[in-house]
Chain A
Amino acid sequence: EVQLVERGGGLIQPGGSLRLSCAPSGFIVSGHSVSWLRQTPGKGLEWVSIIYPGGGTTYADSVKGRFTISKDNSKNMVYLQMNNVRAEDTAMYYCARAPHGFDVWGQGTMVTVSS
């Protein structure tokens, strides 16, 4: 069965750092694009970043320069390093496989930015 499991969410103070992890099963990250997305009741669904099979990356303007997506092919893991977080980064964060649209999603991990 193809699935994704996110971990690493929690409560963090503004300006702090957090690393989220995404563990795929049923497919290998070296052969697929994987994205991070987030969702809030107010702003809805928002795409955050994507990493391609060859390692290339793209970011939403809202996180560019603060967040870094990476992967470890040997561990079959994808990560999202979140630095200098802001209150508006508070959201449920999902990772998803991205062939043509996001066809497999994890269950999400909640990130709350608050002092």
Chain B
Amino acid sequence: EIVLTQSPATLSLSPGQRATLSCRASQSVSSYLAWYQQKPGQAPRLLIYDASNRASGIPARFSGSGSGTDFTLTISSLEPEDFAVYYCQQRSNSYTFGQGTKLEIK
């Protein structure tokens, strides 16, 4: 099973700041990595697929990069609605998710 490790577990930032979230895979997943945002009481929402492609309707402040085993989700300037939990997910070999990064208001 491919294990995805996200860091940090919690990220405390203020609106307007830049957020950088990391996801590391236990073996190469090529570019088959997605990022999701989840708010309390809601289902996850797809942000990025195949490492760097924004899903439909996702603002340009969200961007993804990386390939192989190391990936990054960047939010260029945080809006109040961006504070949530973020998950990475691979589809290279079956499907697995990271444990999540909680982005909280500082």
Contact = CB atoms under 8 A, between A and B. Distances in A.
Q: Does A associate with B in a complex? A: yes
A51 B97 CA distance: 19
Contacts of B100: 44
Given A105-B43, A107-B43, A100 B49 contact: yes
B38 to A, nearest CB: 8
A11 interface: no
- By size class, the interface of chain A is 10 to 19
Interface centre among B43, B48, B50, B87, by most chain A C-beta atoms within 10 angstroms, is B43
Given A45-B87, A101-B55, 17 more contacts: A35-B95, A44-B87, A45-B44, A45-B97, A47-B95, A47-B97, A58-B94, A100-B50, A100-B91, A101-B89, A102-B34, A102-B36, A104-B46, A105-B43, A105-B44, A107-B43, A108-B43
Interface of B: 34, 36, 43-46, 48-50, 53, 55-56, 87, 89, 91, 94-97, 99-100
24 contacts: A44-B87, A44-B100, A45-B44, A45-B97, A47-B94, A47-B97, A50-B95, A58-B94, A94-B43, A100-B34, A100-B49, A100-B53, A101-B48, A101-B49, A101-B50, A102-B34, A102-B44, A102-B89, A103-B46, A103-B49, A103-B56, A105-B43, A106-B43, A107-B43
